Amino acid sequence: MSVLVILVVLAAVTLAFSFILRVLALKGLQCSRSFSVPAAHEGDTAEVIEVVRNDRPLLVPWLRLESRISSHLHFGRQENLGVSGEMYHRSLFMLMPYQQITRRHKVRLAKRGAYDIGNATLTAGDLLGFACATMEQRGSVPILVYPRLLDPAEMPAPFYRLLGDSIVPRQLLQDPFLVNGIRPYQFRDNVRDIHWAATARTGELQVRTHDFTAQTRLMVVVNAQLTYHQWGSLMEYEQGPVEYAISMAATLCSQVLASGLPCGFAANMPQDENDYCTVMPPMAGSAREEELFAAMAHLRVKFIKNFHEFLDELMGMNGVDFLLITAYTCPEIEERIEELRLRGNTVHVHMLDKEVAA
């Protein structure tokens, strides 16, 4: 009889605990995720930090935190972690009263892009499966994956030759702050250069002479089309050459900006869900590299305009060094290149190998 009483009491306690879990298991439970860095380059490794906190005097036998992730975020295998088909990320916890658990998961950033793993499903229950409570948690846990920066050995030799040509000063301009002497006034001299003290001293007009300084503004332009007659977007397995071109552009922009020179980027591709091409005029500054990398991370490999039509959007620029990275050329592109040159620009074309893989 006593055994039966014990069993009845155990069953009653179990059912009562299951009911409590069903109602209270997820109430007041604090779960958060974050990346160890806000941005990194393709191929780098980051950490996903999970923090689960139980502020109540209630045992949670098991808690599953599950979310869908991109197949381009490669999680490492470890205890209490499961990744199904590299698409679903699951973490399993057991929480004692007033316990906080922090876990760090290594993740390799396999492809350029903008990712978010903020949305998750929380499921809690008892060991016997009598109780199960589920809750959707929505939030934003973003990370930007910048293009991979190429090593010198990975860069085509002609590309470095073009790099040298592009950043060698060619456009020599008078710098009003660099005065190297005084001479008599000549026809077409600027009135603002007249040196009045010297003029009064000599009795005839004298003007300041200036040293020359260089102004180089590099604009890297990437073509998302592999052929003139390409129609629609490239399949993911076809995007290798374009991804490689984006990496080349990122590497070049990084080197030019490190030299203190202005640099810009353009592509006949949109960012995220936009429906217009990307154009970022040449600028310098400490924040410019991050701006360019962020824009490249958001690029979708989808051309909005044919490349020769896209070049028409750049005709308003002058005094710019253009480097066009494209897998093909055609008479229409050649016409635009000639027009860019007539507007006072220099234009180099780097032919992209269609067979290259990013």
Residues 184, 93 share a domain: no
**Which residue has better confidence, 1 or 238?**
238
**Which residue has better confidence, 199 or 78?**
199
User: What is d(CA 71, CA 146) in angstroms, rounded to the nearest whole number?
Assistant: 17
Domain that includes residue 260, residue range: 152-170+215-351
**Which residue has better confidence, 6 or 254?**
254
Residue 302 confidence class, pLDDT cut points 50, 70, 90 = very high
Query: Does 79 reside within a domain?
Result: yes
Residues 243, 189 share a domain: no
**Which residue has better confidence, 153 or 291?**
291
Residues 139, 35 share a domain: yes
The edge-to-edge listing of strands for the beta sheet with 73-75 is 30-35, 45-53, 100-109, 73-75
Tens of pLDDT, residues 191-242? 777 888 788 888 888 887 755 445 578 999 999 999 998 887 788 888 999 9
Mean pLDDT of 79-83: 52
Q: How many domains does the chain have?
A: 3
Query: Does 284 reside within a domain?
Result: yes
Q: What is the domain-level CATH number for residue 162? A: 3.40.50.410
Is the backbone of residue 43 left (phi > 0), alpha (psi -120 to 50) or beta?
A: left
Query: Does 280 reside within a domain?
Result: yes
Residues 309, 252 share a domain: yes
Query: Does 328 reside within a domain?
Result: yes
User: What is d(CA 55, CA 75) in angstroms, rounded to the nearest whole number?
Assistant: 29
Mean pLDDT of 84-111: 84
Query: Does 310 reside within a domain?
Result: yes
**Which residue has better confidence, 46 or 213?**
46
- C-beta separation of 74 from 86 below 8 A: yes
Judge whether residue 11 has pLDDT over 80.
no
Q: What are phi and psi of 318, to 5 degrees?
A: -145, 155
Residues 223, 319 share a domain: yes
Residues 190, 161 share a domain: no
Q: How many helices (H) and strands (E) does the chain have?
A: 7, 19
User: What is d(CA 181, CA 159) in angstroms, rounded to the nearest whole number?
Assistant: 41
**Which residue has better confidence, 19 or 286?**
286
- The confidence score (pLDDT) of residue 177 equals 43
- How confident is the prediction for the chain on average, in pLDDT? 82
- Burial (CB count <10 Å: 0-12, 13-18, 19+), residue 2: exposed
Residues 164, 283 share a domain: yes
Mean pLDDT of 109-136: 84
Judge whether residue 273 has pLDDT over 80.
yes
Query: Does 13 reside within a domain?
Result: no
Query: Does 20 reside within a domain?
Result: no
- The confidence score (pLDDT) of residue 44 equals 96
Residues 163, 246 share a domain: yes
Query: Does 18 reside within a domain?
Result: no
